[in-house]
Amino acid sequence: MCIKKLQETPAFNPALPCTEVITLMRQMYNTPKRLFLVTTLLCNLTSSLAATTISVSASASHAVPTTLFGQMFEDINHSGDGGLYAELLQNRAFQRVTPNTQAALSAWHSINQASIVVIADPVPVSAALPNSLQLTIPPGTSDKVGFGNEGYWGIKVEEGTTYKASFYYKVSALNQTSPTKAPKPKLQVTAGLQAADGTILASASKALAFPAVPSDASAWTQVKFNLKATASPPSPANNFTITIDASALSGSGITLNFAMFSLFPPTFKGRDNGLRKDIAEALLEMKPAFFRFPGGNNLVSIMMDHREFNDAYLMNPGGDSAN
């Protein structure tokens, strides 16, 4: 940087002795003492370099050290989320979005006119994830209602592969005057993978427990599904779907909140919450001597605490770059 500034200095004359250049620099940039030392070193270095002759031999050679080659991860253009990180759902936890906007629903789509909205949850699943997806089932609905996620430019689905799906849910409102409230209505939930033409590629159902309308975060429950694909559609334009059988809920006035969805294919070394197998294996086969993570821009702009990587699932507010 000092050299750059020197070159940008209109009054800079390469013939000036170093001491004069440094005095000039100090006047122009009010360079603090610490930088002054660096400037002195760089200046003396560049002036000594000017006198060096470099000869290049066409034949001389030596072994290239194996420690010279490594990999650097730069978090741009979905190289992390949507790339090396194996999570298949986009906008899975409504991080860094503005609640009650259409943009907050990015990558999500309603199924059978279900009413979905991203809210600032008064009782969120964790302090780091303040938003949740709220599903309201209008009275008289008898269909399967819910929502789908389009993934990152689709979701690649392969026959015979088991995908691990999960989400957190809670009941945030229930019609207290409804006769169906005792016994409690049945909450039948189906998770699935669907091709663009609606073909079901994988599906699993569960009858969920019916927790009381919550007053604290313990009301959140995580549900897990294993989705085994029965086909390999040629197109990746597939969706992850969650539907609820509304026929048993008519008049219940039920409102459900969802948080932290997830869908993982088998990962590198079978690790939970892990890396994409194909990419990580290719990187490993290159036998890098080092792997630099995170990339430069993230080092500049954010602080990362390695302890957060332990069980950061619900504790990570998400990065500040949405690209």
Ligand X SMILES: *[C@@H]1O[C@H](CO)[C@@H](O)[C@H](O)[C@H]1NC(C)=O
Binding positions for ligand X, rule: CB under 6 A: 76-77, 109, 111, 139, 148, 150, 154, 175, 177-179, 237, 239, 241, 251, 253
Strands 291-292 and 71-72, bridge-based pairing: parallel
3-state helix, strand, coil in the chain (%, to 5): 25, 30, 50
- Residue with CB nearest ligand X? 148
For ligand X, give the closer residue by CB, 39 or 141.
141
Burial of 291 (0-12, 13-18, 19+ CB in 10 A): exposed
For ligand X, give the closer residue by CB, 23 or 142.
142
- Tell me the closest approach of the beta carbon of residue 45 to ligand X, in angstroms: 35
For ligand X, give the closer residue by CB, 194 or 267.
194
- Tell me the closest approach of the beta carbon of residue 179 to ligand X, in angstroms: 6
- Tell me the closest approach of the beta carbon of residue 65 to ligand X, in angstroms: 31
Q: What angle do CA 14, 19, 22 make, to 5 degrees?
A: 75
DSSP structural state of residue 69: -
For ligand X, give the closer residue by CB, 22 or 165.
165
- Tell me the closest approach of the beta carbon of residue 302 to ligand X, in angstroms: 18
DSSP structural state of residue 159: T
Q: How many CB atoms lie within 10 A of CB 235?
A: 11
- Identify each DSSP E strand in the chain by its residue range: 71-72, 108-111, 115-120, 131-136, 144-149, 162-173, 187-194, 200-208, 221-228, 239-245, 255-264, 291-292
d(CA 238, CA 304): 34
- Tell me the closest approach of the beta carbon of residue 181 to ligand X, in angstroms: 8
- Tell me the closest approach of the beta carbon of residue 263 to ligand X, in angstroms: 12
| Cβ-Cβ contacts under 8 Å for 278 (sequence gap 6 or more) | none
For ligand X, give the closer residue by CB, 121 or 150.
150
Report the residue count for the chain: 323
For ligand X, give the closer residue by CB, 21 or 157.
157
For ligand X, give the closer residue by CB, 89 or 259.
89
| Cβ-Cβ contacts under 8 Å for 161 (sequence gap 6 or more) | 228, 229, 265, 266
- Tell me the closest approach of the beta carbon of residue 76 to ligand X, in angstroms: 5
